[in-house]
Structures are given as structure tokens and as C-alpha cells.
Structure 1
Amino acid sequence: MKIAYLTGEYPRATDTFIQREVAGLRAEGIEVLTCSIRRTGDQHLVGEEQRAEAARTFHVLPAVANPLRMARAELWAMARPARYLRALALAWKTAPRGIRGRVYNLIYFAEAVVLAHHMARMGVSHLHNHIAKSSCTVAMLAAEIAGLPYSFTLHGPDIFFAPEHWRLDEKIARARFVACISEFSRSQAMFWSDRGHWPKLKIIHCGVEPERYTTGARDGTRLIFVGRLDAVKGVPVLLDAFAEARGALPGLSLTLVGDGPDRAALEAEVTARGLAGAVIFAGYRSQAEVAALLAEHDALVLPSFAEGVPVVLMEAMAARLPVIATAVGGVGELVEHGVSGLMVPPGDGAALRAAILQVLGDGALRTRMGKAGRAVVETQFTATTEAARLARLFRAGAELPGEKRPETSS
């Protein structure tokens, strides 16, 4: 079986779970041709593994910008006028309101023509998309032009802020199946789709490889955050809680792994608050480097305002780290409060400070939570198991009668 995998950017340092999923599908005997709308910037390629993936990925926008390639794709598509016109009508029908929305969807249509031509040349039999926003619009249109089934993985939470804009209802209606990363994600898909489409909403977790993660030397003074440095992650709340926690634990340090639009402002804040020696900005790191950092820290903190089921929490739990996270989205499907970590209300700096002090002040508690977290990941969130379930969906369509997931520990 040969399938095409489409994302907005692939591979990317912040989306290594997609890379693991692709590897897992290939191990299941499925040929996966990776496609990306844009080329990934060098700053997002960390490690030889990602650079090798980038080298063999088909990039849509550079092909659209090539006049000869675009012309060949258009001629190929227009030789199938019924599909071409249906896709064009679909692009018009699903465009956001206003001239800008129409223009963007016509651009997505052009991208879809090129992608459909590429898939036809490569003998692709199914198209799958990750991140159900603009790249999924391209996938939906390309599937119509090529006459192929398509599916997508629904993450969230950002798409749930504007589901009408991205026509989530239409995408679900036309998909062969939808891989929802959590019960929360599936519930939102149910809300925004016709009841007749609910059976095609399947839960496929993003998984990790527990064997990558080990436990190193830990002394109860080192916190770590891993994620994109932008508003949704709530890092200013973490800095407030961290600064106050240092009053009780003067040797406390914090490592921020990742990058993003808020980095400069956060660095300035850290300096202004006299925390420059205690807060380390580590930038993007490879999977292996993140695993090494998790091994030598004492707790991972994720103070997000909105999340799906964060893969970084799975990675930390695989490394036997207690996690401190906000009770948003699907976090509670992964973290059991008081067992594998602590959950606090989003935006509550005082509660976050108290959780940090509770976890770092009790070595036995950290050990128990780390052990419990590792067990959850090993039984419910392994990349190999989830890739196998996804492979069955690709092979059998959306019909998997009688399949049940293992019970959660909560």
C-alpha cells in the first residue's frame, strides 16, 4: 500500500511525533511518501534524521512556483474535467467569507492540482493529512481532483477556536476516517459534524518510543519546559511561579527548550527580573537531545492555556519525570492528578508555585509519580502500537467493528 502524508511543514522540530508515526507506518509495511506545503527552515531541522526526511519530502509550493511543472499539472487535471470542476466548486463553496478567503482557497486549489498530479505519478492510493487547517483544505481538494480517498488527524485545540473558518464539518464529511488524538478531540469533532459521520471518528494517540528515554542524575532543583515559546503555552505564568518558588528553593533552575515568537520578550523579562542565571533558553533540540535533558531534570512543567494531549508530557513521563500541567483539553486523559503528576488551573500562578514546591520537596513522591507515568506511556501511548492501529485503518477504511482501546488507569 502506498499513501501520501501531507502537512504544512515536514519534518519540524516541534512535530517529531509525526516523524515517529511515519516511521511506524513504514515498519508496518506501508509505503509512505511525505509531502509538505512549505520547505522547513533550517532552524527547525535538528539532527541527521530530520535532514534525511526533509531531503526525500515532496514540497508543494516550490512545485507551484515552477511554471513548467504547474502547467503540466494543470493540463493533467483539466484532462479530467469532471473532477477538476468539482474540486474548483468545492474550493469556492468552502472558502471563508470575503475576497481574501476566496483568494486563499483558489491558491489552495492550485496547490491541490500540483499535489494530485504528483500523487498520480507516484501511484498513491490514499492521502492523509496532519493538522486540519490550510494543509487539510489542500488535501481535501487534491483528493477530489485525484479521485482518491483521504483522511486526516485532528489535533486541536486551535482549530476548535474557528471550526467554521476551516470548514471542519465538510472535511469530516468527505474524509474516509478521522484520527482524533484524544477523547477531547473526538468530542469536538462530534460537535462540529453530522451524527451520521461519528462512526468514522477514531482515536489514534500520538505516541512516543519509551526506550528512547532513561533516568539520569537528579537532585530536586531542576525544572524543564519543552514547547513553542508563544502565548498559548503560558510561559509568563511559569516565570511568575518560578520566581516565587525560588524564595523557598534558592538553587532552583529552569530550562526552556524550544523557540518561537515570544522568545525575545521572555528573555528580556528574565533579565529584568534578575533570573538570567537561573533560567536557560536552550532553543530547539533534537529528539535525542530532548531525551538527554529530560533524564537530568526533576520535573517537567507545562502551564498551557490550551492543549490537545501534549506529546512532551508523554516524553517526560517515559523518562520517569513527574509532570506539572494545567487541566486543559485532553491533558487529563494522560495525566492522573496525584498519581503521575499534578494538574493546576490554567493561569493560576499561585497554584503552579505550590505544585512546583510540592513535587520538588518530596523525592519519594517524584519517584512514585515517575514510575506511574512510565507505566501509562508503556501501556497506552507507544508509537508502535498507535502506528499499527493507524495502519489497520488505512488498510480497512473506517470500518473496524468491535475494536476497543485498553482501559485508562483513571
Structure 2
Amino acid sequence: FILDQIAGLIDLGHEVHIFAVPPKQEADHHPEIQRLDLMKRTTYHPRPMASKGLRRGQAVWHVLRTFPHAPLGTMRLVARQVARPREFDYPRFLLWLSVLRGRFDVIHCHFGPNGLLMLPLKQAWPRAPLVTTFHGYDIRMALRDDMRMYDPLFRQADLLMANSQYTRGVLNELGAPTGKVCVHPPGVDLDYYRPAGRSPHDDPSRPLYLVTVGRLVEEKGLQHGLRAVARFRERCPDCRFRYDIVGSGPQESLLRSMIEELALSAHVSLRGYMTRPQVLATLQEADIFLLPSIAEGLGVVLLEAQAVGVPIVASNVQGIPHAVDPGRSAFLAPAADAEAWAEALRRLAQDAPLRERMGRAGREFVRRHYDLQALNRRLVQTYRELTTRKGASPLSKSFVNGRRSDADHREEGTRT
């Protein structure tokens, strides 16, 4: 979803450069990487040389390269590092210099720890507003480990974005100033995620197809999902169904054991990692999408499934109620309530017209609230307001609430 946002900004006429950690292994490329040649717009975090002498020479070389582009900012970064010799962090120092050379109009960090990482650059280059988007795991980290960890970011960032109203509320509880927080959710490309044109009535003999897509981690609550499916089988013994869980992660062995223990091997398969086109094809075949998460900042996969026209059964936790239209596109139930889940599944399994109505309602819900193009236009307006604001004047109320109009500002590009 971050790459979709980047591609949208470029399509609107803006210049975007990406700073990222080098991948640990070769990954399947998002289609927009090839279309926009994004690798030429990407700088991986610089790796320091092995020996101390070589690292010093490397740092001097980066300083000399950066100084002509931003003399004052370069001197501020050097002075900061010289004042903290025991805290000298070569990888971070090289990264800050690399970003500084770009003289960007806006620095937008995704996930709270990356916002913290960029604070020294904000101090050295105050001209560029610092924006940080929180997505979920980052706020769970603060709630679990240190509720004050983001205090410096809350003080110094120009804008804090939350992916849902739930995330916004948690940020405020953690101490983020209300006037600095707005909701800007990830969007869905409705031209890409679209129904396959198959009706639930097309083949009555076809087994019902249930799907979950997500990392195999505790937060996804997949153990609860398996218990719910087992209870559904008992409630609806005549229902023919199969259930695919798409994704990889550390709980794979545990889930395989549970599938055996619950005697679900004839119905449930762990499909492993899939590429984006494979996930799309799977969603287009699905009759019901399940997301039994016990923690979820929003749930982008819920938006994708609804865009494809799949009715949802999901947990009524955290940001999930904001990602669906409860009662119209989705049935929500407590994460660990196998009886409630089984009843929702039975109801959908035995009512193909209901599945079709909920699927249409889901796509319309995403079109109205999570259309990628509309959200990208709104993001451009956000950047413009930040870069034109004078002094410390507060953001407008409509901006903080994320309710700006969707006018297209293609005529003047920004560097992000």
C-alpha cells in the first residue's frame, strides 16, 4: 500500500525518492516498480565500511558530497555527531546526509520508528516538514514496551498521520498533540482490485470457498479462526467448503498441528506466501473472507477483499470496524467467540443472494472512503498546506480531521 501511494504521487506529477533498508532476499516486484522504474528512485541505507579508518573516510566523503547542496544542514549534522562521539552511529549519519542531499520539500516516514530515526535530520533541515504515518505495529510497540518512546517525535514532527480513527485515538492517549494528528488511511486501486464477474449463483455445486490472507503471527488470531471454522462445520454439516490461509510466518507449525487436532485437514490448507497477482486471483475466487485478528490497526486486506466484492467475517477489534461497513459489507464478532463466528459463516454459506448484496456494498464502501486516487490527491493537499504554513500557526480543522476536498494539484510538483 505504500508503493501504491508512491506511484499515485508520481502519477500526479510529483517527484518521489525512496529511502529503504536493503532487502534480505530477492522479492517479487510490485508491478508499479517496473512501470515507474522505481529502483532508480530508491536509495538503500548506506552500509559503513568494515574498519574504523575506512568508516571515517567514508563519512568525510559523504560530508563533502552533501555540503554544496545544503551547507548549513551539513554543518549542523557534523556538529551534532562531534558533540556525541560515543554515540556516533555511522549508518544513521550516512543516511541523514543522503537524505539531506535531496533538499526535499517533505520528508514522509512510514511507521513510528522511522520517524524517530529522521528527527536529527529534521533539526538539521527544518525547512522540510516531517510527516510520520503510524500503521499499527508501531503503536503496539509503544503500548507494550515504552509509552513515552515517541515523545520526541510528537514534539518535533510537523504532522502525525494515523491509518484509522482507532490509531488516532491511541496516538492521542500516548501523548500526541490533538492538533498534530490526522487520519489518512491507505487506499485501494479500484481498477486493479475488481470483481471477476462471477456470481455466487453460477455453480451451486461448487464448494464454498473461505479465504484468509495475512502473516501467520499471533496478532492475526488464526487459532480462533480455525476453532470457528470447526464449529461452523458442526453447525452446517451439509455445507461443502474449503478454507485457504494465505501467508507465511512463525506460527505455521502451530497452525498445522491445530488443523490436525480439529480434524480439518480435508477442508483447510496453508497456502504459504503468494505474489500480489496470486492474492488478487484468490480473492476473486473467494466466497467469504475471514480475518480473526486480535489486534489490527486497520486491515488493508479487508479493503482489498471488499473492493473485489467479497463479504467479510472479521473480529470486532481496534481499527477493523473502520475498515468495513458493519452489517452491510461485513459481519463482526468477538475474536474468540467461536459460536458467533460459526453463526455468521452459516448465515452467509446458506444465503448466496446475501453474499452478493454484501459484496456489492463492500465495493461501494471502499469506493466512497478508500479510493486510492482520491486519497493521493488529498495527500498532495496535505503536503501543500504543510509547506505553505507560516511559523507555528495551527493546521486547519478540516485538515486535521482529514476531510479536505479532492482537487488535483498537478501543476506544481513537490519533492518527497
Question: What is the SS of the residue equivalent to 1:162?
Answer: helix
Which of 120, 139, 143 is the equivalent residue of 2:122? 143
Question: What is the SS of the residue equivalent to 1:285?
Answer: coil
Q: Which moved more, 1:267-276 or 1:181-190?
A: 267-276
Question: What is the SS of the residue equivalent to 1:342?
Answer: strand
Q: Is 1:114 paired with 2:94?
A: yes
- C-alpha separation in 2, matches of 1:382 and 1:286: 22
Is the CA contact 2:162–2:184 (under 8 Å) kept in the aligned structure 1? yes
Q: Quote how far apart the aligned CAs of 1:161 are.
A: 4.7
Q: Which moved more, 1:69-78 or 1:276-285?
A: 69-78
Which of 175, 187, 194 is the equivalent residue of 2:157? 175
Q: Quote how far apart the aligned CAs of 1:236 are.
A: 0.8
Q: Is 1:192 paired with 2:181?
A: no
- Superposed CA deviations along residues 277-320 of structure 1, whole A, max 9, x for unmatched, are 42222222233222211111101000000111111000111111
Which of 100, 103, 108 is the equivalent residue of 1:123? 103
Across the aligned residues of Structure 1 and Structure 2, the Cα RMSD in angstroms comes to 3.0
What is the aligned partner in structure 2 of residue 59 from structure 1?
A: 44
Q: Quote how far apart the aligned CAs of 1:205 are.
A: 1.1
Q: Is 1:201 paired with 2:167?
A: no
Q: Is 1:45 paired with 2:37?
A: no
- C-alpha separation in 1, matches of 2:33 and 2:82: 35
- C-alpha separation in 2, matches of 1:388 and 1:87: 38
Query: Cα distance 1:400–1:290, how it changes in 2: closer, same or farther (>3 A)?
Result: farther
- C-alpha separation in 1, matches of 2:60 and 2:272: 41
- Normalised TM-score (structure 2): 0.80
Q: Quote how far apart the aligned CAs of 1:141 are.
A: 2.7
Is the CA contact 1:87–1:141 (under 8 Å) kept in the aligned structure 2? no
Amino acid aligned to 1:156: G
Q: Which moved more, 1:354-363 or 1:143-152?
A: 143-152
Is the CA contact 2:7–2:32 (under 8 Å) kept in the aligned structure 1? no
What is the aligned partner in structure 2 of residue 8 from structure 1?
A: none
- C-alpha separation in 2, matches of 1:70 and 1:83: 11
- Superposed CA deviations along residues 72-104 of structure 1, whole A, max 9, x for unmatched, are 336768984544455788x99xxxxxxxxxx9x
Is the CA contact 1:46–1:285 (under 8 Å) kept in the aligned structure 2? no
- C-alpha separation in 1, matches of 2:47 and 2:264: 44
Q: Quote how far apart the aligned CAs of 1:348 are.
A: 1.7
- C-alpha separation in 1, matches of 2:140 and 2:94: 29
Amino acid aligned to 1:348: D
What is the aligned partner in structure 2 of residue 228 from structure 1?
A: 215
Amino acid aligned to 1:214: P
Q: Quote how far apart the aligned CAs of 1:48 are.
A: 5.0
Q: Quote how far apart the aligned CAs of 1:63 are.
A: 5.4
Q: Quote how far apart the aligned CAs of 1:220 are.
A: 6.2
Question: What is the SS of the residue equivalent to 1:338?
Answer: coil
Q: Which moved more, 1:28-37 or 1:158-167?
A: 158-167
Is the CA contact 1:229–1:259 (under 8 Å) kept in the aligned structure 2? yes
Query: Cα distance 1:130–1:184, how it changes in 2: closer, same or farther (>3 A)?
Result: same
Is the CA contact 1:258–1:284 (under 8 Å) kept in the aligned structure 2? yes
- C-alpha separation in 2, matches of 1:58 and 1:367: 45
Amino acid aligned to 1:206: P
Question: What is the SS of the residue equivalent to 2:17?
Answer: strand
Is the CA contact 1:149–1:175 (under 8 Å) kept in the aligned structure 2? yes
What is the aligned partner in structure 2 of residue 97 from structure 1?
A: none
Query: Cα distance 1:273–1:26, how it changes in 2: closer, same or farther (>3 A)?
Result: same
Amino acid aligned to 1:57: T
Q: Is 1:214 paired with 2:178?
A: no
Larger RCO (CA under 8 A, 6+ residues apart): 2
Q: Quote how far apart the aligned CAs of 1:276 are.
A: 3.1
Q: Quote how far apart the aligned CAs of 1:110 are.
A: 3.6
Amino acid aligned to 1:35: F
Number of residues paired by the alignment?
373
- Superposed CA deviations along residues 4-42 of structure 1, whole A, max 9, x for unmatched, are xxxxxxxxxxxxx11111111112222111111342533
- Superposed CA deviations along residues 209-260 of structure 1, whole A, max 9, x for unmatched, are 1122213544561100011110000001111111232232552111111111
Query: Cα distance 1:294–1:188, how it changes in 2: closer, same or farther (>3 A)?
Result: same
Question: What is the SS of the residue equivalent to 1:389?
Answer: helix
Query: Cα distance 1:143–1:406, how it changes in 2: closer, same or farther (>3 A)?
Result: closer
Q: Is 1:256 paired with 2:236?
A: no
- Normalised TM-score (structure 1): 0.81
Amino acid aligned to 2:173: F
- C-alpha separation in 2, matches of 1:220 and 1:69: 61
What is the aligned partner in structure 2 of residue 6 from structure 1?
A: none
Q: Quote how far apart the aligned CAs of 1:123 are.
A: 3.2
Q: Quote how far apart the aligned CAs of 1:120 are.
A: 2.6
Q: Quote how far apart the aligned CAs of 1:386 are.
A: 1.1
Question: What is the SS of the residue equivalent to 1:62?
Answer: coil
Question: What is the SS of the residue equivalent to 1:354?
Answer: helix
Q: Which moved more, 1:71-80 or 1:155-164?
A: 71-80
Question: What is the SS of the residue equivalent to 2:107?
Answer: strand
Query: Cα distance 1:58–1:318, how it changes in 2: closer, same or farther (>3 A)?
Result: same
Larger radius of gyration: 2
Is the CA contact 1:220–1:363 (under 8 Å) kept in the aligned structure 2? no
Query: Cα distance 1:222–1:120, how it changes in 2: closer, same or farther (>3 A)?
Result: same
Q: Which moved more, 1:80-89 or 1:275-284?
A: 80-89
Query: Cα distance 1:337–1:47, how it changes in 2: closer, same or farther (>3 A)?
Result: closer
What is the aligned partner in structure 2 of residue 34 from structure 1?
A: 18
Question: What is the SS of the residue equivalent to 2:131?
Answer: strand
- Superposed CA deviations along residues 131-186 of structure 1, whole A, max 9, x for unmatched, are 112x2221223333444431110122552452536722221221111111111111
- C-alpha separation in 2, matches of 1:40 and 1:202: 33
- C-alpha separation in 2, matches of 1:380 and 1:254: 29
Matches within 5 A, 1:62-77: 62=47, 67=55, 69-73=58-62
Question: What is the SS of the residue equivalent to 1:339?
Answer: coil
Question: What is the SS of the residue equivalent to 1:211?
Answer: coil
